Amino acid sequence: MPSSQDLVILFTRYPRPGKCKTRLIPVLGDEETIKIHQQLVSHILKELGEYIRRNNSELCIYYDGGSLSEMEEWLGKNYSFIQQQGDDLGQRMSQALTRALKQGRNVILLGSDCPAVSVSLLQEALDSLHHHDMVVGPAHDGGYYLIGLTRNVSNDSCRKLFTHIPWSTPQVLNKTLQRAHEQKLHLHILPTLHDIDTAEDLKYFHHHPHPQ
């Protein structure tokens, strides 16, 4: 049965040394890089948990780089986990969002790399889907930290948002907005924030409270 319950999808990776935040490894080493990744995930789960408690929403963690048992050992068994499927990031995100749309849900998807994500920003993102087809949170590096769609967006339009996008380049956001325009999607833009991907980005990590 379709659900009217909003869905929040978190995309993240199991903290395996050498496989997470790889652009930080030359500066911090494997151990410290894994700590940064774990702190970022812990922070976003805290904000998501507070949002979920306040709203009639569900959280699902889509994971990569580990097994279900490893994810449960790391984050606990109180979360819903689904393994990411697809040959690239676009296919993986498209598959996750399409699954939610087929269930008749408004859905947002975000990564775990942005320490400035807050309960109020999550609220703005999902509230915007009552009046817009799509919401995007731009990142300063030319990508985005959040994308969401209303249940009324077709599966075909969803898939086209992730087709022929030059992933891991500064053109990701602009190409995605171009696809949204081509699909005639009414768009809401969130504040532009910093992802934590490089050593230069670490100053933004330290601007925000995070678990030790």
Burial of 103 (0-12, 13-18, 19+ CB in 10 A): middle
3-state secondary structure (DSSP) of residue 30: helix
- For residue 212, tell me if it sits in a domain: no
Looking up residue 52, the CATH number of its domain turns out to be 3.90.550.10
- For residue 196, CA distances in Å to 13, 21, 91, 107, 193 come to 14, 8, 23, 24, 10
Residue 211 falls within a domain, yes or no?
no
Q: Is the pLDDT of residue 212 over 50?
A: no
Closest among 41, 92, 37, 44 to 64, alpha carbons compared = 92
**CA-to-CA distance for 126 and 100, rounded, in angstroms?**
14
Task: Return the bridge partners of 85, or none.
Answer: none
- The DSSP line for 103-136 is TT--EEEEES--TT--HHHHHHHHHHTTT-SEEE
In order of 49, 65, 72, 100, 114, the CA distances from 119 in angstroms are 9, 27, 24, 21, 13
| Least confident window among 29-38, 39-48, 144-153, 168-177 | 29-38
Q: Is 61 left (phi over 0), alpha (psi -120 to 50) or beta?
A: beta
Structure confidence by residue, pLDDT tens digits, 94-149? 999 999 999 999 999 999 999 999 999 999 999 999 999 999 999 999 999 999 99
What domain count does the chain have? 1
Cα four-point dihedral sign 23, 211, 190, 100: positive
Model pLDDT, residue 146: 98
Is residue 210 one of the residues assigned to a domain? no
Assigned domain for 45 exists: yes
Residue 67 lies in a domain: yes
Tokens of 136: 């995007």
Per residue in 154-210, pLDDT (tens digit) is 999 999 999 999 998 999 999 999 999 999 999 999 999 988 777 677 776 765 544
**Over the stretch 59-75, which tens digit does the pLDDT of each residue have?**
999 999 999 999 999 99
What is the rounded distance in angstroms from the CA atom of residue 146 to the CA atom of residue 90? Answer: 13
Distance CA 124, CA 134 (A): 12
Domain hosting 191: range is 6-205
For 125-168, give the DSSP string: HHHHTTT-SEEEEEBTTSSEEEEEE-TTS-HHHHHHTTSS--TT
Beta bridge partners of 136: 147, 189
Q: What is the pTM of this model?
A: 0.92
Amino acid letter, 123:
Q
